[in-house]
Amino acid sequence: MPTWFCSRMWFDKVGQFDEGGKGVPEDLLFFYHCLRQGLGVRRVDQCLLVYRYHEKLQPTLDTIWKLRVDFLQERVLSQWEGFTIWNAGKQGRKLYRSLCPANQKKVKAFCDVDENKIKKGFYTYEESKERPKPKIPVLHYKDATAPFIICVKLDMTGGVFEENLTSLQLQEGKDYYHFN
């Protein structure tokens, strides 16, 4: 696979790619298996590969989303007693709705910079079967507390988001994880 640079011994330890057929994101599953086995994966902050979209072969966005949420819950959220979702917009709310009920209860707040969302004061999970419906506070990011799951795309705000994040002096992998 052009997306992986690893020794044969490493590959054999992780196991074969999931050849489950059309729509199986075998490279994402392989990556998660690597992490579960504690293999030394390193992040490179530059583009090494550009994927081509093959409509007939691609896994659905829903499949990838579910795998990513499940892995986040397994590896990160299971270790935390509570957390804040950074983004009270579409992606943050989608993440919240995708979490299992136990992890939904761990969400202390959403945070954002959008004054309209902050003025409203809370997000109501209308689709919930709970009564009363869960209402999660929406705070300004400066008033929120770590740890954070960040659902904001990088390089989309002219550096404003990145400056806001840097101003909090948080440590990635401890105080926050990107989920975007």
Asked if residues 98 and 62 have their Cβ atoms less than 8 Å apart, the reply is no
Q: What is the DSSP string of 11-23?
A: HHHH-------TT
Side-chain-facing half-sphere of 88: CA atoms under 13 Å: 26
Residues in CB range of 168: below 8 A, 6 or more apart: 141, 142, 146, 175
**Which single residue is written with the structure tokens 């994880």?**
177
Q: Quick: pLDDT tens for 13-52.
A: 777 776 666 677 777 788 788 888 877 667 777 877 666 6
pLDDT in tens, 110-166: 999 999 999 999 999 999 888 999 999 999 999 999 999 999 988 888 899 999 999
